[in-house]
Chains A and B, each alone.
Chain A
Amino acid sequence: MKKTTKEKGMIEESRKLSPAEEDAFGKELDVLRDEAFGSLGQADVDHIRGVVRLARRAEAGGRALLHLGLDPVTFLAGAGALGVSKILENMEIGHNVIHGQYDWTKDPALEGAGYEWDIVCPAEGWRRSHNFEHHTFTNILGKDRDVGYLVLRVSADQPWHPAYLLQPVSAVLLALMFEWGLGLHDMRFDDLFRARSLGEAREALKGLVERGRPFLSKAARLCAKDYLLFPALALANAPRVLAGNVLANVIRNVWGFSVIFCGHFPAGVRVYAEEACEGESRGAWYARQLNGSANIEGGKLLHLMTGHLSHQIEHHLFPDLPAARYPGLAPKVRAICERYGQRYSTGSMPRQLASVARQILRNAFPGGGKPIRDIAAENPPLGRMSAAAA
């Protein structure tokens, strides 16, 4: 994790903050948070409804092109439009609504607790694994199951295993089938492998069955929709519609994988040891969220298509704030980071993707950098409150 591209004025390594600085840092971010929440209103609701309208129309248009067309141009345009609608539905709408970003509207259609998205991973398990575990224990090895999604070694701090030699291939497979990866990830098969006694194994198996039922049921329903109902409605055009729907889902999968991997795994983003975060203050939590996330630079369209996860840093600082607010907050967050000597990781999508690809390739092999404790010694990760005593 030492490779960083020189950019004018960019802080390459966050400095250690004293507890007093951490508190002040947290307070400044809290002020931003309160201001943003205090100014929510009609414009925010109009924005998300506009995106819903766009996604629905793209879906209808895409399906119409697939169903009614015969030539390859309408096929690609149809699958593309359907893919775009799924991306919008999953990212700007689904992910953000499920975070509860629009709960304040009290509109049942925008209520996080009741939202089910167009992706095989059920929202119910996601609310736990993502909203709670990933956003609370961000980038803590052993606690954040989203670090490399347990199947990829994205950091030298993860112990190497020969199976990681295959990760350049498995990463590509994961990208193509990302929704299935997320669904299987939330099944928590790892609980089964961690079991140290027969009783624990039985418990783990029970949990697996409990989570398996909703996952299989949802996957079956979505597959029936995209791979049976719509092809059947197309009659003679069924193979074309089936292929188009597969392509749309793959487009969404690859895009989602790319955005999410750019958010946490480019070089320079930190991972943390479990004990480093025990009893951390709110300011230290903010600092860990900042140092464990990376942004993607781009225009309005890119921000929308990533569900504003191009502002992963702002999202991790304020996960329940409507995401369309992040671009407006970003300059202020960046200014605060600069004053506190904190690295604000950001780069273009090609650059961040290239960095992620290098990480995946390099970490397929043993070594790859200093282990976390060494980094801790020369430049301690933030919020190492109790680790210093240990």
Chain B
Amino acid sequence: MNAISRIATGVARGLLLERQAEFWLGQVAPTRSLAQLRARVEEVVDETADVKTFRLRPNGRWSGHQAGQFTTVELEIDGVRTRRCYSISSAPGRLPAITVKRKPGGVVSGWMHAHLRRGDVIGLGLAAGDFVLPAVLPQKLLFLTGGSGITPAMSMLLDLGRRAPAADIVLVHHARSADDVIFRGALAALAARAGGPRVVLCSDDGSSGLGPFDEARLALLVPDFARRESWVCGPPGLMERVQSMWEAAGIAGSLRQERFTLAPPRAVTGGKTTRIRLAHAGRSFVAGPGTLLEQLEQAGAKPVSGCRMGICRTCKVRKVSGAVEDLRTGAVSGAADEDVQPCISVARSDLELSL
């Protein structure tokens, strides 16, 4: 069967019948495709007031995921294909699920909450990312999460429940309030199992018992934190404080991080205006605040983008000249003819881009 379909595909390609084949496959079943990874929305679950989980059934091109990895979803919003990366919250071996928080003013998350329904078909990317569990599992693990940063940790906790039932696991999760805790029921069920993880919930308003993140309290709650392999995922403030705490303890090597959102770019010092020139379009504009990607979008250059946090490299463009700062590292690069990722770059001089 496989050989027949391979031969048929080869003939279709050779005789320029590929588009017809793709069209009729899509008519048979909307997720069928010769080349594209697509998924049908199987189920939409309301997790909290502003968080939904979308359980997806991908076509045969999906190759599974490891706990903690992300996938790229491609949605058509007012005619334009738009991509975003989301951590997979389901266990490996199960249907991939993404858990999406509706961001205020978020075009994509807002659209998904308002329009994406069971039965809809979306584009999908293969699972990727190295925020995962090691092949040889440690005996003592600590997960520090904030907000929707729980999503990759949830996948890992589910995976650990099957692969390492005897492991000593602590999850310290931070939310705005008790009502904003994503997967509250599932976490309680995991914690209630014999040998399940210890789940500690903290919230900004104290409604879940404990207040917002605090280094001293964390050290009291998890006194052996320095002897644990740790994973942190959450808002930039939490990530920075945890990183500093781990560095101060001299154990930065045991901390794995997954960034969901970038810290906002620092203002250019000196207030000098920078101009961005688009070589192919033959026009230029003055750069305002924000990332290079945001600048290009505001200028109507319609760049392709994906994760918007420097992971997927979808937005990569060739910089002909000028200097950009990498927002993740603060490194400034002025090399000519190099590829840069606009989503995590800000202009630090006049730029010329191959766009």
A-to-B contact residues, CB < 8 Å: 40-46, 52-53, 56, 59-60, 104-109, 116, 118, 218, 221-222, 224-225, 229
Q: A41-B79, A105-B81, A106-B80 are in contact. Are A221 and B14 (CB under 8 A)?
A: yes
Q: A56-B23, A56-B24, A106-B304 are in contact. Are A224 and B79 (CB under 8 A)?
A: no
Q: Which interface class (under 10, 10 to 19, 20 to 34, 35 or more) fits B?
A: 10 to 19
Q: A221-B15, A224-B15, A225-B15 are in contact. Are A59 and B20 (CB under 8 A)?
A: yes
Q: Are B15 and A229 in contact (CB under 8 A)?
A: yes
Q: Are A107 and B19 in contact (CB under 8 A)?
A: no
Q: Does B17 contact A (CB under 8 A)?
A: yes
CB-CB under 8 A from A42, the residues of chain B are: 76, 78-79
CB distance from A48 to the nearest CB of B (A): 10
Q: Does B302 contact A (CB under 8 A)?
A: yes
| Chain B 1-53 residues near chain A, CB threshold 8 A | 11, 14-17, 19-20, 22-24, 36
In the assembled complex, the Cα of A225 lies from the Cα of B17 at a distance in Å of 8
- 17 extra interchain contacts, Cβ-Cβ under 8 A, other than A56-B24, A105-B80? A41-B79, A42-B76, A44-B79, A46-B79, A53-B23, A56-B20, A56-B23, A104-B302, A106-B80, A106-B81, A106-B304, A107-B76, A109-B19, A218-B16, A221-B14, A222-B16, A225-B15
**Which A-chain residue is minimally distant from B17 (CB atoms)?**
A225
In the assembled complex, the Cα of A46 lies from the Cα of B76 at a distance in Å of 11
CB-CB under 8 A from A52, the residues of chain B are: 23
Q: List 18 A-B contacts (CB under 8 A).
A: A40-B79, A42-B76, A42-B78, A45-B76, A56-B20, A104-B80, A104-B302, A105-B76, A105-B81, A106-B81, A107-B76, A108-B36, A109-B19, A221-B16, A224-B15, A225-B17, A229-B11, A229-B15
CB-CB under 8 A from A40, the residues of chain B are: 79
Interface string of B288-304 (1 = CB under 8 A from A): 00000000000000101
CB distance from B275 to the nearest CB of A (A): 21
In the assembled complex, the Cα of A73 lies from the Cα of B11 at a distance in Å of 31
Overall SS of chain A's interface: helix
CB-CB under 8 A from B19, the residues of chain A are: 109
CB-CB under 8 A from A44, the residues of chain B are: 79
**Which B-chain residue is minimally distant from A93 (CB atoms)?**
B19
**Which B-chain residue is minimally distant from A42 (CB atoms)?**
B79
**Which A-chain residue is minimally distant from B36 (CB atoms)?**
A108
**Which B-chain residue is minimally distant from A40 (CB atoms)?**
B79
| Chain B 63-95 residues near chain A, CB threshold 8 A | 76, 78-82
Q: A52-B23, A56-B23, A56-B24 are in contact. Are A45 and B15 (CB under 8 A)?
A: no
In the assembled complex, the Cα of A279 lies from the Cα of B147 at a distance in Å of 59
In the assembled complex, the Cα of A56 lies from the Cα of B28 at a distance in Å of 14
Interface string of B98-122 (1 = CB under 8 A from A): 0000000000000000000000000
CB-CB under 8 A from A104, the residues of chain B are: 79-80, 302
CB-CB under 8 A from A45, the residues of chain B are: 76, 79
CB distance from B201 to the nearest CB of A (A): 40
Q: A225-B15, A225-B16, A229-B15 are in contact. Are A105 and B79 (CB under 8 A)?
A: yes
Q: Are B16 and A116 in contact (CB under 8 A)?
A: yes
CB-CB under 8 A from B22, the residues of chain A are: 109
CB-CB under 8 A from A53, the residues of chain B are: 23
The 4 closest A-B pairs by CB, nearest first: A106-B81, A45-B79, A225-B15, A42-B79
In the assembled complex, the Cα of A52 lies from the Cα of B24 at a distance in Å of 11
In the assembled complex, the Cα of A52 lies from the Cα of B22 at a distance in Å of 12
CB distance from B133 to the nearest CB of A (A): 34
- Central interface residue in A41, A46, A56, A222, by most chain B CB within 10 Å: A56
Q: Are B16 and A118 in contact (CB under 8 A)?
A: yes
In the assembled complex, the Cα of A106 lies from the Cα of B15 at a distance in Å of 26
CB distance from B72 to the nearest CB of A (A): 13
**Which B-chain residue is minimally distant from A47 (CB atoms)?**
B79
CB-CB under 8 A from B80, the residues of chain A are: 104-106
In the assembled complex, the Cα of A84 lies from the Cα of B263 at a distance in Å of 55
In the assembled complex, the Cα of A46 lies from the Cα of B78 at a distance in Å of 10
CB-CB under 8 A from A225, the residues of chain B are: 15-17
CB distance from B36 to the nearest CB of A (A): 8
CB distance from B168 to the nearest CB of A (A): 47
CB distance from B248 to the nearest CB of A (A): 45
CB distance from A103 to the nearest CB of B (A): 8
In the assembled complex, the Cα of A229 lies from the Cα of B13 at a distance in Å of 13
CB-CB under 8 A from A59, the residues of chain B are: 20
In the assembled complex, the Cα of A368 lies from the Cα of B60 at a distance in Å of 66
CB distance from B251 to the nearest CB of A (A): 44
CB distance from A100 to the nearest CB of B (A): 11
In the assembled complex, the Cα of A60 lies from the Cα of B17 at a distance in Å of 12
Q: Are A107 and B81 in contact (CB under 8 A)?
A: yes
CB distance from A95 to the nearest CB of B (A): 15
CB distance from A354 to the nearest CB of B (A): 36
**Which A-chain residue is minimally distant from B77 (CB atoms)?**
A42
CB distance from B265 to the nearest CB of A (A): 25
CB distance from B225 to the nearest CB of A (A): 44
**Which A-chain residue is minimally distant from B35 (CB atoms)?**
A108
**Which B-chain residue is minimally distant from A104 (CB atoms)?**
B302
CB distance from A320 to the nearest CB of B (A): 12
- Central interface residue in B11, B15, B76, B82, by most chain A CB within 10 Å: B15
CB-CB under 8 A from B24, the residues of chain A are: 56, 60
CB distance from B287 to the nearest CB of A (A): 21
CB-CB under 8 A from A218, the residues of chain B are: 16
CB distance from B22 to the nearest CB of A (A): 7
In the assembled complex, the Cα of A143 lies from the Cα of B272 at a distance in Å of 45
In the assembled complex, the Cα of A222 lies from the Cα of B157 at a distance in Å of 55
In the assembled complex, the Cα of A229 lies from the Cα of B24 at a distance in Å of 18
**Which A-chain residue is minimally distant from B14 (CB atoms)?**
A221
In the assembled complex, the Cα of A109 lies from the Cα of B81 at a distance in Å of 11
In the assembled complex, the Cα of A265 lies from the Cα of B172 at a distance in Å of 76
**Which B-chain residue is minimally distant from A45 (CB atoms)?**
B79
In the assembled complex, the Cα of A107 lies from the Cα of B75 at a distance in Å of 10
In the assembled complex, the Cα of A307 lies from the Cα of B60 at a distance in Å of 36
In the assembled complex, the Cα of A307 lies from the Cα of B242 at a distance in Å of 60
**Which B-chain residue is minimally distant from A225 (CB atoms)?**
B15
In the assembled complex, the Cα of A33 lies from the Cα of B314 at a distance in Å of 29
In the assembled complex, the Cα of A43 lies from the Cα of B80 at a distance in Å of 11
In the assembled complex, the Cα of A52 lies from the Cα of B315 at a distance in Å of 29
In the assembled complex, the Cα of A32 lies from the Cα of B93 at a distance in Å of 53
**Which B-chain residue is minimally distant from A322 (CB atoms)?**
B79
CB distance from A141 to the nearest CB of B (A): 27
In the assembled complex, the Cα of A42 lies from the Cα of B24 at a distance in Å of 22
